[in-house]
Chains A and B, each alone.
Chain A
Amino acid sequence: GENVEQHPSTLSVQEGDSAVIKCTYSDSASNYFPWYKQELGKRPQLIIDIRSNVGEKKDQRIAVTLNKTAKHFSLHITETQPEDSAVYFCAASPPFGNEKLTFGTGTRLTIIP
């Protein structure tokens, strides 16, 4: 089955700086890669996703890049703000069958004011 690895497990950045979180996946058939943000005690919320037919997607301060050859994808947050502090999870999904998401282990992002 699919295996998703995520790094780093914790990340602290100065407010205004950029943050980058990286994930690798094992199943070359996976073609959908969402990113979720989870604040303490709350539900995971989708912040951005990318499908394998594109290499990059951007939404304001958030961008995701995908390298299918290397089987890795990354989340980029620019001009970080205190409200970006949360745990971020990447995930991967195969194109057929049971359609479940396999999640990475999460990155705890702390923005230092």
Chain B
Amino acid sequence: NAGVMQNPRHLVRRRGQEARLRCSPMKGHSHVYWYRQLPEEGLKFMVYLQKENIIDESGMPKERFSAEFPKEGPSILRIQQVVRGDSAAYFCASSPNRDSYTFGSGTRLTVV
């Protein structure tokens, strides 16, 4: 089992561009969570998805951010028209049930 796979590991985008972050959960895990970590800060919940469903998006900004977890393929966190404040590490976690998260290695987004 390869663990939770996130790509890319590092992503540089100019202001106004789009960023797409991918997360492949561990095999057998149907719950996916996205968290954002600003430098020197904790992990902030963004969105929780199960296959084809968004369960909780209470932590995700209403504008420019969207997430999906299609029937086939990885979960995608999409940030449109990125701004400097979007620069952060974005971690995906998956779990087979309510507990026992496993985190991916994260995508470090830098907006220049």
- Where the two chains meet, the residues of A that have a C-beta atom closer than 8 Å to any C-beta of B are 1, 6, 32, 34, 36, 42-46, 49, 89, 93, 97-106
Contacts and interface: CB of A to CB of B under 8 A. Distances in A.
B31 interface: yes
Given A98-B55, A102-B45, A34 B103 contact: no
A43 B105 contact: yes
A99 B31 contact: yes
B101 interface: yes
Given A44-B91, A99-B31, A49 B48 contact: no
Contacts of A103: 35, 42-45
Contact of A99 (B35, B58, B98): B98
B42 A89 contact: yes
A98 B44 CA distance: 15
27 contacts: A1-B58, A32-B99, A34-B101, A36-B103, A43-B91, A43-B103, A43-B104, A43-B105, A43-B106, A44-B91, A44-B103, A46-B100, A89-B42, A89-B43, A93-B99, A97-B56, A98-B56, A98-B58, A99-B31, A99-B48, A100-B33, A100-B45, A103-B35, A104-B42, A105-B41, A105-B42, A106-B42
B48 A100 contact: yes
A101 B91 contact: no
Nearest to A51: B99
Contacts of A32: 98-99
Contacts of B33: 100-101
B10 to A, nearest CB: 11
B45 A101 contact: yes
A104 B45 CA distance: 12
A82 B55 CA distance: 41
B90 to A, nearest CB: 12
